[in-house]
Structure 1
Amino acid sequence: MGFKVVAIDSRKEGRALAAENPLKPDLIVDPNEEGIADKLKEWSGGLGLNGFVVCTDYIDATSWALPHLRPRGTLVELGLPTKNFEFEPFKAIFEELTIRGSLVASKKQTEDMLRTVAKHGITTKINVLTPEEGVKLPDLYMDPHLKGRLVVKFE
């Protein structure tokens, strides 16, 4: 869609998935990397990133992203954390940041997304479980080495 994209994941599995995607991000980084704040600021022309889409419920990911937004930047929370996260009110107010959430996409947004997925051959890794294996779902979901999605298949 013309945006410069940074994939950020503290897990090597997440970074590997981003690198394997046919529609590759412009930059893939580990948020724990030495000097990452300076690297992102330099990469973005000195102002910070225009936006973040946080796709995890891991609160530290949201807390990490907020200070890296440029003035008038937007953070979209898709993850649904179970606890509150904090942000710096002076930065949010004086830099006019937008923090929003979204549960579902509109019909048009979904159609646009599916067209992009089809056009670029984007796929995800699916880990299929039987209903009997479903009891392991919470442990598998919390495994930091999980690569892709977990799906319970009922036949």
Structure 2
Amino acid sequence: AICAHSRFACPQARSPDTGIKTGPCGDDVDDFSGAVTTIAPGPLTIHLKESIAHTGAPWRISLSSDGSDSGACDLLDHIPHDDTSNPTFGDESTYHSLYVTIDVPDVACDRCSLHMSNPMTDKIGTDGAPTGIGCTEPGTCFSVYYSCTKPLRITGTTPRGSW
């Protein structure tokens, strides 16, 4: 069941749950099983779905290591929240769509994944302030939601481990 907040819609998420609070992928960490989607380096428009809006809550998109969810590198950070978002929780037809184009690096990767993190900045108080303790790294904050894509094959030239 969909529980809360946001997840990948495209590429497809490993889990349909929008309430994953264990980074980076919840119970599906390091699960690169199943069909692999092939993508090329360069621009890629991703689609996120938001089931509960949190004013000012930005997103971060990262790329996993090859075959492991550890060692992710940031691709796009602080994607602004659309504060006009007004989904009705439990009614997926009302979930807010966010489309953003990221730049997939020129890497060769047989089983990579995109990671999404979404801190609820309206709930973390001063932890998210410039002088606060921070709240976007997996495991550092009580109020961050996560999603990971199903496996992706990237047809670039630089081995992912060297990038």
Relative to the length of structure 1, the TM-score reads 0.28
Bigger helix share? 1
Bigger strand share? 2
Say which one has the larger Rg: 1
Q: Which has the higher contact order (CA 8 A, sep 6+)?
A: 2
